[in-house]
C-alpha cells in the first residue's frame, strides 16, 4: 500500500549555489514548527549529512541509484514517508551531474525538484537558467525555482519577472551572512567543529521565514518496495573496534547499522586520545581528517604501537582513505609531518589539488563491494602489496588500489557495506595469521 508525504529535492545548477544551507535551514524551520523532518543526501557524502542531522534532529541517509541501489533507496524513502511530515533530499553537485544523476533520482521516485540558483550578478539570465534546468529533460518533475543571495527588492522582482510563464517562484533569499556555512578542502566543516552551528541553523530558519519561504511542498506517493533489504550472513558476538573521533568520522550510518543487524558489536575508540585499541576481534578505521590532527596522532605513541601490534596479529582490519593514511609511515601537510603507525611502508601527503573522485566497485576474494573515492592526498605505494584494483563506475577504467598486509585491507575507497553485507561480514570474521 502506498504512503503519501510532502517531499522536495533541493537541487542547483552546480556546487556552491547554497543548496546545503537552504536544505539545512528548511529542515530546521519545519522541525521548529513541530514537524518530523527526514533529510536524505543524493550521492555519497559524509559532511552535509552531519549538518542536516543536527538541523532536522533526525538521522540522515544517502540515496544513490548505483551505490545504494534503486530497491534499497525505495525502501528507505517508504520507511521515512510512513513516519515523517516532510522529506527533503539534497542534490549532489549539479542537478544533471553524474550517471545516475540527482535528476534520475527525482524521476525514479517522482519527487519534485526545487532549483536553488545563486543570483548574484545575474538578471534576466536567471530565467534562462531556470528554464534550462526544468526542461533539459522534459520528464523531470519540477516544482519551481528559488533565488539565493538576492541583492534587493528590485533585484528580486527582476528575477521573478524573468521566469517563463507557469514556472513557480518560491521566492528570493537575500544576501545574508547568517546563511553561510564554513568550508574546507573536502567540502563543509564537520558539524562538531562549528561552535555556533546551532545558532546558524536557527538564523537560517529565520531568514527563510522572513522571506516567506515556509510552505510545505505537495505530497508525493511512495510505493512499497517489492522486496526488502536482508542479510545473508550472521556475525553474532563479533566485536569490531571502530576508530571514531575528530580525525576519523566519515561513517555512513547504514554501515554501522549493517554490521549491527548482522550481530556485530561496535566498540568505539579514539586514536587521538586513547592509550590503545580495545579488546576486539577486528578493527575498522574509517575516513576523516587525519591531516588536521597530524601532530596529535603522531604524539600518541602508545596507540601507534597498539595499532601496529594488532595489525601484525593478522586479525581483520579495514582502513578507508584517512584511516589508511593513519597506518602509513608518515603523513605530511605543508610543513607539518609526523611518523604514524608504519604498518604500511609508504609516505602520504596532502596535495593542493583533488587526487581522486567518483563511484567505484572492487572485487575481493569474498565478493564485490561498491563505494566512492574523494581525496586530496597522495601516497607512494611502491612497497605495498596490492590485493585488487577498483573499477570506475562511469567508464570502466581502473580505479583505486586495495592494499593488503596480513589481515589488513586498505584503500582510498570508502565502501558502502549494504552493497554486499555478506562480503563485508566474511572479511571481518576471517583472521589472516
Ranking 75-79, 88-92, 189-193 by mean pLDDT, the lowest is: 189-193
pLDDT at residue 18 in the model: 92
Smallest Cα–Cα separation from 74: which of 195, 248, 211, 222?
222
- Closest by CA to 162, choosing from 141, 147, 143, is 147
Domain edges within the chain: 3-222, 239-428
Is 306 a residue whose pLDDT tops 70?
yes
pLDDT in tens, 252-303: 999 999 999 999 999 999 999 999 999 999 999 999 999 999 999 999 999 9
Domain 3-222 and domain 239-428 have a common topology = yes
C-alpha grid cell, residue 218: 505537495
Residue 227 is predicted with a pLDDT of 78
Average of per-residue pLDDT across 203-231: 91
Neighbours of 40 (CB within 10 A): 25
Residue bearing cell 520528464: 139
Closest by alpha carbon to 103, among 133, 69, 129, 148? 133
The three cell numbers locating residue 332 = 605530511
Q: CB under 8 Å to 59, separation ≥6 — which residues?
A: 53, 253
Predicted local confidence at residue 197, as pLDDT? 84
**In 3D, which of 104, 108, 115 has the Cα closest to residue 22?**
115
Q: Is 163 helix (H, G, I), strand (E, B) or coil?
A: coil
- pLDDT at site 185: 47
Q: With cut-offs at 50, 70 and 90, classify the pLDDT of residue 193.
A: low
Q: Is 80 exceeded by the pLDDT of residue 215?
A: yes
| CATH number listed for the domain at residues 239-428 | 3.40.50.880
Known active-site residue 73: no
Question: Which residue out of 244, 258, 321, 341 is catalytically annotated?
Answer: 321
φ, ψ of residue 350 to 5 degrees: the values are -80, 130
CB 182 within 8 A of CB 215: no
Q: How much of the chain, in percent, has pLDDT values that exceed 70?
A: 95
Angle between helix axes 197-210 and 19-32 (nearest 10 degrees) is 80
Which pLDDT band, with edges at 50, 70 and 90, does 190 fall under? low
Give the CATH H-level superfamily of domain 3-222: P-loop containing nucleotide triphosphate hydrolases (3.40.50.300)
pTM (whole model) above 0.85? yes
DSSP assignment of 207-274 equals HHHHTT--PPPPEEEEPPPSS----S---TT-EEEEE-BTTEEE--HHHHHHHHHTT-EEEEE-TTT-
Over residues 357-393, the pLDDT tens digits come to 999 999 999 999 999 999 999 999 988 999 999 999 9
- pLDDT single digits (tens) 114-173: 999 999 999 999 999 999 999 999 899 999 999 999 999 999 999 999 999 999 999 999
Cα 225 to Cα 32, 100, 104, 285, 433, distances in angstroms:
31, 20, 18, 33, 43
Amino acid at each position: 500500500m502506498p504512503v503519501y508525504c510532502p517531499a522536495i529535492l533541493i537541487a542547483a545548477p552546480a556546487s556552491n549555489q547554497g543548496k546545503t544551507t537552504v536544505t539545512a535551514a528548511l529542515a530546521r524551520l519545519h522541525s521548529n514548527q513541530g514537524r518530523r523532518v527526514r533529510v536524505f543526501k543524493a550521492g555519497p557524502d559524509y559532511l552535509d549529512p552531519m549538518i542536516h542531522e543536527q538541523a532536522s534532529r533526525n538521522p540522515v541517509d544517502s540515496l544513490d541509484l548505483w551505490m545504494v541501489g534503486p530497491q534499497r533507496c525505495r525502501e528507505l524513502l517508504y520507511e521515512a514517508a510512513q513516519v515523517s511530515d516532510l522529506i527533503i533530499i539534497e542534490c549532489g553537485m549539479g542537478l544533471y551531474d553524474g550517471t545516475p544523476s540527482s535528476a534520475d533520482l527525482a524521476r525514479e521516485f517522482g519527487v519534485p525538484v526545487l532549483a536553488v540558483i545563486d543570483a548574484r550578478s545575474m538578471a534576466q539570465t536567471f530565467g534562462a537558467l531556470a528554464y534550462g534546468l526544468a526542461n533539459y529533460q522534459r520528464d523531470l518533475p519540477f516544482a519551481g525555482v528559488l533565488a539565493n543571495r538576492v541583492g534587493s527588492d528590485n533585484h528580486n522582482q527582476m528575477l521573478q519577472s524573468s521566469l517563463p510563464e507557469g514556472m513557480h517562484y518560491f521566492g528570493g533569499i537575500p544576501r545574508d551572512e547568517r546563511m553561510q556555512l564554513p568550508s574546507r578542502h573536502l567540502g563543509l566543516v564537520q558539524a562538531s567543529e562549528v561552535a555556533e552551528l546551532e545558532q546558524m541553523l536557527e538564523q537560517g530558519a529565520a531568514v527563510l521565514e522572513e522571506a516567506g519561504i515556509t510552505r510545505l511542498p505537495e505530497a508525493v506517493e511512495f510505493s512499497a518496495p517489492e522486496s526488502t533489504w536482508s542479510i545473508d550472513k550472521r556475525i553474532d558476538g563479533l566485536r569490531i573496534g571502530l576508530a571514531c573521533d575528530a580525525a576519523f568520522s566519515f561513517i555512513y550510518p547504514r554501515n554501522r547499522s549493517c554490521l549491527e543487524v548482522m550481530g556485530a558489536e561496535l566498540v568505539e575508540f579514539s586514536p587521538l586520545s586513547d592509550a590503545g585499541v580495545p579488546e576486539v576481534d577486528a578493527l575498522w578505521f574509517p575516513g576523516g581528517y587525519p591531516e588536521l590532527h597530524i601532530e596529535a596522532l603522531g604524539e600518541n605513541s602508545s596507540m601507534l604501537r597498539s595499532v601496529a601490534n594488532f595489525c601484525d596479529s593478522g586479525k581483520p582490519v579495514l582502513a578507508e582513505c584517512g584511516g589508511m593514511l593513519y597506518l602509513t609511515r608518515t603523513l605530511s601537510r605543508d610543513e607539518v609531518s609526523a611518523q604514524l603507525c608504519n604498518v604500511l611502508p609508504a609516505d602520504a601527503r596532502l596535495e593542493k589539488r583533488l587526487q581522486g573522485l567518483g563511484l567505484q566497485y572492487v572485487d575481493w576474494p569474498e565478493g564485490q563491494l561498491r563505494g566512492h573515492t574523494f581525496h586530496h592526498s597522495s601516497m607512494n605505494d611502491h612497497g605495498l602489496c596490492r590485493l585488487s584494483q577498483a573499477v570506475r563506475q562511469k567508464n570502466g577504467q581502473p580505479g583505486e588500489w586495495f592494499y593488503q598486509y596480513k589481515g589488513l585491507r586498505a584503500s582510498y575507497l570508502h565502501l558502502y557495506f549494504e552493497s554486499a553485507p555478506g562480503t563485508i561480514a566474511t572479511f571481518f570474521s576471517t583472521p589472516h595469521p
